[in-house]
Amino acid sequence: MFRILRAGFFLLLLSPLVTCSGKSSGQIRALAFSPDGKFIAVDFGEGSTLFIYMIAVETGNASRLTDAKTGAESIPSFSPDGKRITYSYSPGNGAPSRIVIGNVDGSDLHPLSPSEDNNFRPVFSPDNKTIIFARSGYYGSYSPIAQPYHHDWNFYAASLDGANVRQLTNDHFYMVSDVSVSPDGQSMVFVSSEEHGDVIEVRSLKEPTEPTLSLRPHVPGESSIGQVFNCPNYMPGGESILFMAASDGKLPWSGFDYDIYRLDIGTGAVGRLTKGNGYATDLKVSADGKTAAFLKWRSDWRGTPNRSALYLLDLQTHKVAPFKVHGLD
């Protein structure tokens, strides 16, 4: 159950196929808004093969960003000035995952720096000068009956030319979410996941060794196995955080709902923005703070999430609507 609930951490490792729109089979597993809100970058594929696509928000038409033939390109992120894109690339065959950076038109894509480590989940700093990413120190299982996953996580930062790589945390987290950097570039927020439960951690980027805030907000119908959080996003202004949390479904056999909430950092007040999402992941907020995008999943007969659909949430009206995508293949 621990593995299934921390869905956002593990979806990249699941292999079943998903039907998006059209006749293509595959999964959208992560996404990012361009700063001008005109495009959504996604990683799309099946099994262990994923490639980055750019989806025009106005039309829903998708096109390949890269020309890779093998491996997994995952978890894209745009630079705040809209000129660059970064993502992680796992070549396969046991080779380590590395960070790739390049132009948003797909030109000049290259590794951030040579590394023998497994690097994932890159994001740019607001000043466009730094990339912050997560590094896994161990791939395997701590239990003989559990499936192997990436564990032993810490966060690092580097200049855009790959120089000045520096370690930000030394906590060796069991699991971590994607990181979000505050609009002023002073803090980062992420979810750390341990056996005792999840916590939303806010850390200063100047002194990141200890949390500035450790947040465990309560939500309606809180999950019966404890607090489960994911996908924290700073809102514009940096005064609130959008995040996902699990709550018990309406019926005993309906599983958990992963709904979207807004947390006021100063007061701790929590507002619920969606209800009854079912299994949902990969929440991202547009730069203007007006729209959020996320994935809803359906499961196969074994209860394994295997079909994703992209949804948009109007953050003013709280209206949720499916977003049809064309051209994924």
Instruction: Return all residues near 198 (Cβ < 8 A) that are at least 6 apart.
Output: 6, 191, 192, 216, 226, 227, 228, 229, 230
d(CA 39, CA 32): 8
d(CA 49, CA 26): 9
d(CA 167, CA 77): 20
Quick one: tokens of 313? 């949430």
For the ranges 4-8, 262-266, 325-329, the lowest mean pLDDT is seen at: 4-8
Length of the chain: 329
Answer whether residue 117 shows pLDDT above 80.
Answer: yes
Per-residue model confidence as pLDDT tens digits over 83-108: 999 999 999 888 999 999 999 999 99
Give residue 254's pLDDT: 59
Q: Using an 8 Å Cβ cutoff, are 131 and 158 in contact?
A: yes
Quick one: tokens of 17? 């196929």
d(CA 44, CA 23): 14
d(CA 72, CA 76): 12
Answer whether residue 15 shows pLDDT above 50.
Answer: no
Bridge partners (DSSP) listed for residue 135: 119, 154
Instruction: Return all residues near 210 (Cβ < 8 A) that are at least 6 apart.
Output: 203
Give residue 240's pLDDT: 98
Q: Helix, strand, or coil here: 44?
A: strand
Mean pLDDT over all residues of the chain?
89
Quick one: tokens of 228? 């489960």
Task: Give the per-residue SS3 of 34-88.
Answer: CCCCCEEEEEEEECCEEEEEEEECCCCEEEECCCCCCCEEEEEEECCCCCEEEEE
Does the predicted model carry a pTM greater than 0.75? Answer: yes
Which is higher by pLDDT, 8 or 242?
242
Per-residue model confidence as pLDDT tens digits over 269-306: 999 999 999 999 999 999 999 999 999 998 888 878 88
Give residue 147's pLDDT: 77
Give residue 25's pLDDT: 66
Secondary structure percentages of the chain, helix, strand, coil, to 5: 5, 50, 45
**Rounded mean pLDDT, 143-167:** 89
For the ranges 168-182, 191-205, 227-241, the lowest mean pLDDT is seen at: 191-205
Give residue 297's pLDDT: 94
Question: Domains of the chain, with CATH numbers?
Answer: 2-322 (2.120.10.30)
